[in-house]
Copies of this chain bind each other. A is one copy, B any other.
C-alpha cells in the first residue's frame, strides 16, 4: 500500500469516527440518563473532537476489517477507545499532572474551560466509553460486548495506562526529591508499554474480538500490537528530541529539559532509529499469515515509525 493511500484512509477513518463521536455526544439524554448538561457535552466534544490521528480507532477498524467486519458496531467500539484516549489526555494535561497549555495546537481543556470542568469532562469520557461498549448497538452478542469492556478496562486501568502515567510521574521525581529516577531500559520499556502501549494493543485486540479472531490469530495480532506500540513510543521520543512545537502541536524538548530517561537518550538516536526499523519489521512479519489483507496494518506500522507529529 502506498503511503499516500494510507494517509487518505487514515484521514477518512478519522472523519467517520468524528461523526460517530459527534452523534454519540449529542445533547439528548439516553434512556436512564436524566439530562446532559450543556457544559459537559460541550467540553467532552471539545476534548474529543480537537483533531488527532485517531490511531487507536483506526487499529480497531482495520483489525476488524481483516475479518471482513465493518459497520456501526465497529465504529462505536472505535469511538469508545478514542474516548478513553482523549480522557487520558485531558487529565494528563491538568496543572497537577503535566501542566500543559497546548494540545494539538489548541488550548488544553482546562485552559479552554477550567480545571473542574476538565476533570469532569475526563471522567465523563471514561465512563461513557464503557456505556457505548455495553450498549446493544455495538454488537448483538453480549459476550462480545462484555469482552470489549474487559479488554478496554484492563488496558486503561491501574495495571495499564493509569499505572503507566503514575510510573511516568514517579520517574520524573514528582513524588520524591524532585530528581528524575535513573530508569534502566527495561524499566522504561515497561513504563511505556503501560502508558501508551496497552491502549494501542487494546485497539488491535478489540478489532480481533469484533472480527471473531481465533486464539492463534489473536496471538499473532498481539505480537503486531506490541511491536507497533514500542515503535510508536520510540518515534514519540525521537520527535520530542528533534521536532519543534509548531510541527508537533504540543510542547517539545520537555523530556530533555527535565532530564527524563527515554530510550532515545539511553541508547542514542542512531541506535533508537535502528531499533525502530527492527520493530517495524517485526510488526510487518507478525502479519504475514494474513497476506495482502493486512497491507493497511503493515503500512500503519511504517506510518507510526515515520510520522512527523
Contact = CB atoms under 8 A, between A and B. Distances in A.
A117 B159 contact: no
A20 to B, nearest CB: 16
Given A33-B160, A154-B33, A126 B123 contact: yes
Interface of A: 29-30, 32-37, 39-41, 44, 87, 91, 94, 96-97, 114-117, 119-120, 122-124, 126-128, 130-131, 133-135, 142-143, 145-147, 149-151, 153-160, 162-167, 169-170, 174-175, 190, 193-194, 198
Given A94-B119, A119-B96, A166-B117, A142 B146 contact: yes
A233 B98 CA distance: 37
A160 B34 contact: yes
Contact of A124 (B130, B155, B157): B157
A117 B175 contact: yes
A190 B34 CA distance: 8
A153 B32 CA distance: 10
Contact of A194 (B34, B116, B133): B34
Contacts of A143: 142-143
A44 B162 CA distance: 12
A153 B131 contact: yes
Q: How many copies does the complex hold?
A: 2
A175 B39 contact: yes
Contacts of A41: 158
A29 B120 CA distance: 28
28 contacts: A30-B159, A32-B151, A32-B154, A32-B160, A34-B164, A35-B163, A40-B166, A44-B158, A87-B123, A91-B119, A96-B115, A114-B174, A114-B175, A116-B174, A117-B166, A124-B157, A124-B163, A127-B158, A128-B153, A130-B130, A131-B153, A131-B157, A134-B147, A134-B150, A134-B153, A142-B145, A142-B146, A146-B149
B158 A128 contact: yes
A147 B136 CA distance: 10
Contacts of A190: 34-35
Nearest to A202: B32
Given A116-B96, A116-B169, A126-B123, A36 B163 contact: yes
